[in-house]
Amino acid sequence: MDYRLLMAFATGTQLLFVFAFGACIGSLINVLVYRLPRGLGVVTPPSRCPACNTRLTWRENIPILGWIILKGRCRTCRVRISPEYPIVESIVALLFLAVFVLWYTVPTYRAMWLGFDWAVVRPEWAANGFARTWPMFVLLMALLSCLVAMTIVDARTFTIPLVLAWVPTIAAFVIHPLHALWLDLSDRSLSHLAAGWSWAIASPGPTGWLWVGVAVGGGAGVLVANALLAWGLIRRSFADYEAWESAERAKASPGTIRSGAEQGEACDTSETAGVSETSTPPKNGCLARGAVVAVGGTLLAAVAGGIIARVVGRPPIAGGLFGLILGPIIAGFIARPLTRSAADDSETEAAEDPTALWIAYPHARREVTRELLFLGPIVALALVGAAVGLRLSNSGALPTTVPLWLDALSGVLLGYLVGGGMIWATRVLGTLAFGKEAMGLGDVHLLAAVGACLGWIDAILTFFIAPFIAIYFAAILAAWTGSPRRAMPYGPYLAGAVLVVTLAKPAIEAGLTRVFGLAVPLDIP
């Protein structure tokens, strides 16, 4: 048999496995986004139809195919099953597949397609091959999977289950230093890294004892602050919010104001997201027509953009991306008359804004001031760690070179502290300025997880890109409904910014190089 055919078969098998594994993770995400906001167990009870309580068989639980086999209905009571489930599973599977293809399958040099060299998208560390870098690939997939789950939950309930941020954070603290230690002990190394960097994420480097001290000190400060909180020496902020909300709800007429969680439950009342036969046909018809216009218009704009770009001598991928970005806004203006009843429904939901009480809470400034007591030990011990690290390194008490595992661990700590610190600073300053809770603590944990997994540079890039994504989606919402919402969950925009940073870092590096007028192109890990 031809060698090339064997290699193609092996590659195809790998891609099929990655796609199937991603679909399984997508199925898990469907379970998490339903159960976590409701306080249900992830493993028990087993999946079953909420309408007739029929337990699902293993065939019906197969990702994507299970929904197709059932034809979108429960086999017993024929209640509709939302297509959201196979859609989420397909999106996660395609995300896994796309990253694996770009990282490990695309040729190392000159992989031209649509006028673009796709080889440049690959991070430098992935050029070392899957055998040496699979732990970081697993970590990246864990982060992206949790970001998908956080996006769905936050969009529905305006809350982020903190466990979804803790999972990739803990994974980062385990995988990065152990991976570095494994490479050291096995006499291997990552020969391909960003120029001037010693690890796959931004880290102090071989001589960076000062920043090792900052990282270790700041990490110790996080432990101390949480211990003080657990012992009751520091009061948890917004501890009286639920009591205040209950009192305000009692004053209001029944059904006038609903919390974010209640709003989410009202939109999805079953684990299979079942829509009964009595669903309002006009609304469903309007939404279906709107979806067709949105998808069709966006694809048409992307194709048109690619053709125009080719005609004017630009890479087709650039025009296609521009059309892909502009398409949903144009489609919104065209489809608004077709989705009028759905828009009216969104106006009704706006009148029952799930964030109304959250915005009206009168003691936000007082509560974030208390959070400064939590942040105090972190800042103080980080400064102490910096002083100790600098003094010990100058005195010769420390090794000349920072061990690779400690360098990687310090990179994780710095990313965690910088990522969480930027959002927390925005939360405190914004709340003090406007008297309303500017950002939730879920967003703090989200960006802290991003920093732990991808490093402090990627966390900073995510922080500054997310507002532009928020503005973009606000423009889409305004095009489709005529008026943006008063408040929007910020977690989905942070997650979108992470995806941009992950897949478009070469463009970001080129842009920053031009903005700052650097003589040498910027190269960040």
CB 119 within 8 A of CB 108: yes
> In this predicted structure, what is the pLDDT of residue 56?
77
Between 22-36, 144-158, 283-297, 316-330, the lowest mean confidence (pLDDT) is in: 283-297
> In this predicted structure, what is the pLDDT of residue 217?
97
pLDDT tens-place string over residues 1-50: 567 777 778 888 999 999 999 999 999 999 999 888 888 888 777 777 76
DSSP letter string, 132-178: HHHHHHHHHHHHHHHHHHHHHHHHHHS---HHHHHHHHHHHHHHHHH
pLDDT above 70: residue 516: yes
> In this predicted structure, what is the pLDDT of residue 260?
43
Average per-residue pLDDT for the chain? 84
Q: What is the separation of C-alpha 45 from the centre of its chain, rounded to a whole number of angstroms?
A: 27
Strand-pairing partners, residue 116, are 113
More confident of the two residues 1 and 378 = 378
Between 63-77, 228-242, 384-398, 423-437, the lowest mean confidence (pLDDT) is in: 63-77
CB 122 within 8 A of CB 103: yes
> In this predicted structure, what is the pLDDT of residue 214?
97
Summarize the confidence of residues 329-351 as an average pLDDT. Answer: 60
Summarize the confidence of residues 115-123 as an average pLDDT. Answer: 83
What amino acid occupies position 192? H
Q: Is residue 7 part of a domain?
A: yes
Between 48-57, 82-91, 140-149, the lowest mean confidence (pLDDT) is in: 48-57
pLDDT tens-place string over residues 464-490: 999 999 999 888 888 877 766 656 789
In three-state secondary structure terms, 112 is strand
Burial 324-343 (b: 16+ CB within 10 A, else e): bebbbbbbbeebbebbeebb
DSSP letter string, 433-496: HHSS--S-HHHHHHHHHHHHHH-HHHHHHHHHHHHHHHHHHHHHHHHHHSS--SS--SHHHHHH
Burial 283-313 (b: 16+ CB within 10 A, else e): eeebeeebeebbeebbeebbbbbbeebbeee
> In this predicted structure, what is the pLDDT of residue 353?
58
Residue 205, sorted as left (phi over 0), alpha (psi -120 to 50) or beta, turns out to be left
Q: Is residue 88 part of a domain?
A: yes
In three-state secondary structure terms, 317 is helix
> In this predicted structure, what is the pLDDT of residue 16?
95
pLDDT tens-place string over residues 238-262: 988 888 888 888 887 554 444 444 4
Terminal-residue alpha carbon distance, the chain = 41
> In this predicted structure, what is the pLDDT of residue 263?
40
> In this predicted structure, what is the pLDDT of residue 266?
36
List Cα–Cα distances, 389 to 110, 398, 404, in angstroms.
44, 9, 16
Q: Is residue 395 part of a domain?
A: no
Token code pair at residue 250? 């009692």
Summarize the confidence of residues 62-86 as an average pLDDT. Answer: 84
pLDDT above 70: residue 288: no
More confident of the two residues 491 and 264 = 491
Q: Which of 39, 59, 86, 51 is nearest to 274 (CA)?
A: 51
Q: What is the separation of C-alpha 399 from the centre of its chain, rounded to a whole number of angstroms?
A: 38
Between 232-236, 272-276, 287-291, 308-312, the lowest mean confidence (pLDDT) is in: 272-276
> In this predicted structure, what is the pLDDT of residue 412?
98
**What DSSP element (H or E) covers 117?**
strand 116-117
> In this predicted structure, what is the pLDDT of residue 24?
94
How far is 466 from 493, CA to CA, in rounded Å?
Answer: 5
Summarize the confidence of residues 137-147 as an average pLDDT. Answer: 96
Q: Is residue 165 part of a domain?
A: no
- The model's pTM is 0.88
What is the band of 281 on the pLDDT scale with cuts at 50, 70, 90?
very low
CB 320 within 8 A of CB 128: no
Summarize the confidence of residues 258-276 as an average pLDDT. Answer: 39
> In this predicted structure, what is the pLDDT of residue 521?
86
> In this predicted structure, what is the pLDDT of residue 289?
61
Q: Which of 101, 90, 100, 82 is nearest to 20 (CA)?
A: 90
Whole domain around residue 47: which residue ranges?
1-98
> In this predicted structure, what is the pLDDT of residue 175?
97
Q: Is residue 169 part of a domain?
A: no
Q: What is the separation of C-alpha 124 from the centre of its chain, rounded to a whole number of angstroms?
A: 22
Between 57-66, 106-115, 161-170, 355-364, the lowest mean confidence (pLDDT) is in: 106-115
Summarize the confidence of residues 124-150 as an average pLDDT. Answer: 94
Q: Is residue 492 part of a domain?
A: no
CB 408 within 8 A of CB 180: yes
Q: Is residue 3 part of a domain?
A: yes
Q: What is the separation of C-alpha 397 from the centre of its chain, rounded to a whole number of angstroms?
A: 41
Summarize the confidence of residues 205-226 as an average pLDDT. Answer: 96
Q: Which of 524, 194, 482, 256 is nearest to 347 (CA)?
A: 482
List Cα–Cα distances, 357 to 45, 157, 262, 346, 369, in angstroms.
33, 14, 13, 19, 20
Q: What angle do CA 374, 420, 95 make, to 5 degrees?
A: 150
More confident of the two residues 273 and 9 = 9
pLDDT above 80: residue 344: no
Number of domains in the chain: 1
Token code pair at residue 265? 């439950």
pLDDT above 70: residue 206: yes
